[in-house]
Amino acid sequence: QVQLVESGGGLVQAGGSLRITCAASGSIFSINAMGWYRQAPGKQRELVAAITTGGSTNYADSVKGRFTISRDNAVSTVYLQMNSLKPEDTDVYYCYVNRAGISYWGKGTLVTVSS
């Protein structure tokens, strides 16, 4: 089992920045992909950004150039630096990791961007 704890969400004005963090614990060996999804009420969960163990990244078109994902494999932590935030970025952000073909999810952290 893998446990994920997110932190860093909150309220920020449009144009501002926020960094959210996700720390993995438990059976963290052989974790490969880590990343973030987001979901608004009544909508499907969508991929925001993902990063492999080797550092390859993938971003949703809506966040390219504004968000940066990174990870520290030594402490099994993934980060999402969010700049130039827009009100439409308001969502619950969920951390996930993939280990041995199984996905594990955090409980989510709320990011609210005011206009």
What CA–CA distances, in Å, run from 39 to 8, 52, 53, 55, 57? 17, 22, 25, 25, 20
Please tell me whether residue 76 adopts helix, strand or coil conformation.
coil
**What pLDDT, on a 0 to 100 scale, did the predictor assign at position 30?**
81
**HEC-encoded secondary structure of 1-49:** CEEEEEECCEEEECCCCEEEEEEEEECCCCEEEEEEEEECCCCCCEEEE
**What pLDDT, on a 0 to 100 scale, did the predictor assign at position 27?**
80
- The C-alpha torsion from 98 through 34 and 73 to 79, rounded to 10°, is -150
Across the chain, which has 115 residues, the per-10-residue mean pLDDT values are 93 98 87 92 93 95 97 93 97 94 94 96
**What pLDDT, on a 0 to 100 scale, did the predictor assign at position 5?**
94
